């Protein structure tokens, strides 16, 4: 059975036309699936029962299944299972009356960052556009409509850009989820060709780059999957993104690790890398990961590092990741049961 979310509006319209249905049926189906977030075609009471039966026989509206929900106050983590046995984790971060969904783009990850649990087990496969959309809607049915979507879960979005871009077009389609593109952020470990492609797609989304190192050698040790591209090539790609996006700044994240990348020399090199760019830098103290013999620097060390950056002109803040108590913070997502 086909996953319904693989169909965009035009494809649904063509399928409905082949069933002899009038053109407005596509609007009706999209509204109830994406805005009312129904979990069954039987709930589409605005269309004939005969069409509901045909839709139900043809398309799957209930994949993925929620396998486990772990709530930790600041975040709610979901383990989701797809029909082929693949599993991913994603996170809802409540923000008052609003929700930010942290989505995964792949099953596993092949970048191999030494400070990230998502790298354990390597890359299994890409998620399709429909599977990415279904992931968000599964969480939305459980918790409410998102205000923001961030591709900061499991996987490297720019190594699955065709599917991620197709999903984003649905998320920002006024007939579907109807989010502003500025409410969507793609985070990359630094896939340089992907940054160029993303810029050329003109999706209007925000770009975040996981930096974590101030030299090419250091970056190769920490993030081997992106070592083929130098920091110079990365910053040039970010300049291209900003130029094509008409001045849109890039957000850089820097996971601060004690005795590894928290020296003033690192801070000074960061200044040299980022000051020429339109940027915002988020410093993220390392979140514990079970396989990594790494720790976060203490508060005073972190404060001194940040102060050094600010004194030299960087636009910087400290971001304390939410959900660490349920292993839902930055770098902690995997694909396994927690109970």
For 51-61, the pLDDT digits (tens) are: 999 999 999 99
- Catalytic annotation present for 102: no
Q: What's the chain's average pLDDT?
A: 91
Residues 128, 175 within the same domain? yes
Structure tokens that stand for 22 in this block: 């009038």
Residues 10, 143 within the same domain? no
CB 52 within 8 A of CB 41: yes
Which whole number is the average pLDDT over 161-177?
97
CB 92 within 8 A of CB 76: yes
Strands 59-60 and 65-71: unpaired
Residues 240, 303 within the same domain? yes
Alpha carbons 286 and 294: distance in angstroms, whole number: 8
Q: Which residues contact 137 (CB under 8 A, 6 or more apart)?
A: 5, 33, 34, 37
Specify which residues 65 forms β-bridges with: 81
Please choose, from the candidates 170, 118, 121, the residue with its C-alpha nearest in 3D space to the C-alpha of residue 328. 118
Per cent of the chain over pLDDT 70 is 93
In a domain, 131, yes or no: yes
For residue 239, pLDDT beyond 60: yes
- Catalytic annotation present for 238: no
| Tens-digit pLDDT profile for residues 283-338 | 999 877 666 678 889 999 999 999 999 999 999 999 875 444 444 445 444 544 44
Q: Of residues 102, 109, 116, 330, which has the active-site annotation?
A: 330
Q: Identify the pLDDT of residue 95.
A: 86
Residues 26, 78 within the same domain? no
Q: Identify the pLDDT of residue 295.
A: 87
Q: Identify the pLDDT of residue 72.
A: 75
Residues 148, 224 within the same domain? yes
In a domain, 336, yes or no: no
| Tens-digit pLDDT profile for residues 179-202 | 999 999 999 999 999 999 999 999
Residues 15, 97 within the same domain? no
| Tens-digit pLDDT profile for residues 79-89 | 999 989 999 99
Residues 114, 155 within the same domain? yes
| Tens-digit pLDDT profile for residues 175-184 | 999 999 999 9
194-198, Cβ contacts within 8 angstroms, sequence gap of 24 or more: 194/157, 194/158, 194/159, 194/161, 195/158, 195/234, 195/237, 195/238, 195/240, 195/241, 196/237, 196/240, 196/241, 197/158, 197/161, 198/158, 198/161, 198/165, 198/241
What range defines the domain where residue 53 resides? 2-60
In a domain, 267, yes or no: yes
Q: 35-49, 156-170, 279-293: which has the highest mean pLDDT?
A: 156-170
Query: Beta-strand (E) ranges in the chain?
Result: 2-3, 59-60, 65-71, 76-81, 87-95, 98-102, 106-108, 123-126, 148-151, 184-188, 206-210, 250-256, 279-285, 316-318
CB 46 within 8 A of CB 26: no
Residues 44, 101 within the same domain? no
Q: Which residues contact 1 (CB under 8 A, 6 or more apart)?
A: 58, 59, 60
In a domain, 226, yes or no: yes
What band does 120 get if pLDDT is binned at 50, 70 and 90?
confident
Domain boundary among 60, 92, 110: 60
Whether pTM exceeds 0.85: yes
Instruction: For residue 21, give the CATH number of its domain.
Output: 1.10.150.530
Q: Identify the pLDDT of residue 97.
A: 85
Structure tokens that stand for 21 in this block: 């249905």
Q: Of residues 89, 131, 156, 206, which has the active-site annotation?
A: 89
Q: Identify the pLDDT of residue 330.
A: 53
Residues 86, 167 within the same domain? yes
In a domain, 331, yes or no: no
For residue 339, pLDDT beyond 90: no
In a domain, 334, yes or no: no
In a domain, 124, yes or no: yes
Q: Identify the pLDDT of residue 290.
A: 64
Q: Identify the pLDDT of residue 337.
A: 47
What phi and psi, each to the nearest 5 degrees, are found at residue 256? -90, 120
Q: Identify the pLDDT of residue 199.
A: 98
Q: How many domains, the chain?
A: 2
Which whole number is the average pLDDT over 128-147?
94
């Amino acid at each position: 059975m086909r996953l319904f979310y693989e169909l965009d509006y035009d494809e649904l319209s063509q399928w409905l036309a082949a069933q002899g249905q009038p053109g407005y049926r596509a609007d009706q189906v999209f509204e109830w699936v994406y805005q009312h977030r129904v979990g069954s075609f039987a709930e589409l009471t605005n269309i004939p029962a005969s069409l509901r039966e045909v839709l139900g026989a043809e398309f799957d509206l209930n994949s993925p299944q929620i396998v486990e929900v772990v709530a930790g106050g600041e975040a709610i983590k979901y383990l989701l299972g797809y029909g082929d046995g693949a599993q991913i984790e994603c996170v809802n971060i409540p923000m008052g009356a609003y929700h930010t969904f942290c989505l995964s783009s792949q099953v596993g990850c092949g970048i191999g960052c030494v400070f990230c649990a998502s790298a354990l087990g390597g890359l299994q496969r890409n998620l399709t556009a429909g599977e990415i959309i279904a992931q968000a809607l599964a969480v939305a049915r459980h918790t409410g409509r998102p205000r923001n979507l961030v591709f900061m879960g499991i996987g490297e979005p720019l190594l699955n850009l065709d599917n991620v871009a197709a999903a984003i077009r649905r998320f920002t389609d006024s007939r579907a989820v109807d989010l502003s593109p500025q409410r969507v952020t793609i985070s990359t470990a630094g896939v340089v060709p992907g940054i160029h492609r993303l810029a050329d797609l003109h999706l209007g989304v925000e770009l975040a780059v996981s930096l974590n190192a101030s030299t090419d050698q250091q970056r190769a040790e920490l993030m081997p999957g992106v070592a083929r591209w130098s920091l110079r090539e990365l910053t040039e790609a970010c300049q291209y993104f900003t130029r094509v996006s008409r001045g849109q700044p890039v957000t850089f994240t820097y996971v601060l690790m004690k005795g590894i990348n928290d020296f003033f020399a690192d801070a000074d090199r960061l200044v040299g890398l980022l000051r020429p760019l339109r940027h915002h830098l988020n410093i993220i103290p390392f979140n514990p990961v079970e396989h990594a013999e790494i720790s976060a620097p203490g508060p005073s060390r972190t404060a001194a590092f940040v102060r050094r950056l600010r004194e030299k002109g960087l636009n910087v803040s400290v971001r304390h990741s939410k959900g660490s108590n349920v292993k839902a913070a930055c770098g902690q997502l995997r694909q396994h049961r927690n109970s």
